[in-house]
Amino acid sequence: MKTTYREALREAIRDAMNRDDRVFLMGEDVGSYGGCYAVSLGLLEEFGQERIRDTPLSESAFVGAGIGAALNGMRPIVEIMTVNFSLLALDQILNNAATLLHMSGGQFPVPLVIRMTTGAGRQLAAQHSHSLEGWYAHIPGLRVLAPATLEDARGMLWPALCDPDPVLIFEHNALYNLSGELADDAGPVDITRAAVRRPGKDVTLITYGGSLAKTLAAADDLAAEGIDAEVIDLRTLRPLDADTFLDSVRRTHHAVVVDEGWRSGSLSAEIAARIAEEALYDLDAPVRRVCSAEVPIPYAKHLEEAALPQPGSIAAAAREVVRGG
């Protein structure tokens, strides 16, 4: 069937709520407004106010309420409008949700899912263009997911709700209008493994989320030049499936990591470090990273595009590691 990323997310919520009466959605404007990005449009009429709950504008309060609900046997889906607003709930996420299962010796699971929009590219200026997935991937006790395809948008939610640890799902804002074909019987997917989105033999391009399409476009450009790039979609940012990208690097002997986060202290740095630790002698060139410029993301469209990884900069990095310049 023809669908969009937004509609796939909505169907995932609908499916989870039909599977389990304990599942409910809460967040700012998720009810009658249909969600900031229209993901929950129509669900209030379908499931009622008890299960589609609008909350006050207090991220700390409603994330805390979600943690409490999860501790008491419910399966809450908490929607935070954008990743920058999640910082207002960081105490709840880091000091409570992520730690309770461990600190209780396994007695108190927190089966909570927090969905939030991430990324830049839509001229939302510096306050609403963050890519902070790497920050959360630093925290033990969390699972961090980044669906980049229609299949993952549809299939990641139910396995996430079944996880005893809290799960954060980062939805890139540039993907909501992504359209394509999705199988009528599409359902849950594996949330533990990375995926090879394009096989290749000359260089490994490692990415996730909103950068996947750009990386695949770069791979197409490289193919026209005779460079066969393999594209790895990480999908799960914590815990990282290092085996998949290390196996690829050992075959291609070259690696480029594409990360919309800032370069310093980024997820790309962690991946590059793991490659250096585990596959250094398989490399024929140093690992290259393509990240956002270390500036607050500009509002002006041409400056925003210049600040973000683009197919051209990804292809140039791959060309350099394969050909030495």
- For residue 245, the Cα-to-chain-centroid distance in whole angstroms is 17
Going residue by residue through the chain, which has 325 residues, state the pLDDT in tens, using 9 for 90 and above: 999 999 999 999 999 999 999 999 999 999 999 999 999 999 999 999 999 999 999 999 999 999 999 999 999 999 999 999 999 999 999 999 999 999 999 999 999 999 999 999 888 899 999 999 999 999 999 999 999 999 999 999 999 999 999 999 999 999 999 999 999 899 999 999 999 999 999 999 999 999 999 999 999 999 999 999 999 999 999 999 999 999 999 999 999 999 999 999 999 999 999 999 999 999 999 999 999 999 999 999 999 999 999 999 999 999 999 998 5
Q: Where are the alpha helices (DSSP H) in 171-298?
A: 212-224, 242-252, 267-279
Burial of 52 (0-12, 13-18, 19+ CB in 10 A): buried
- CATH number (3.40.50.920, 3.40.50.11240, 3.40.50.300, 3.20.20.110) of 195-323 reads 3.40.50.920
DSSP state of 3: E
DSSP state of 137: T
Both structure tokens of 310: 């683009």
pTM: 0.96
Structure-token match 């809290």, residue found: 166
Burial of 106 (0-12, 13-18, 19+ CB in 10 A): exposed
Q: What residues are annotated to the active site?
A: 59, 128
What CATH number does the domain located at 2-181 have? 3.40.50.970
Domains 2-181 and 195-323 equal at CATH topology level: yes
- Give dist(CA 107, CA 74) in Å, integer: 16
All structural domains of the chain with their residue ranges: 2-181, 195-323
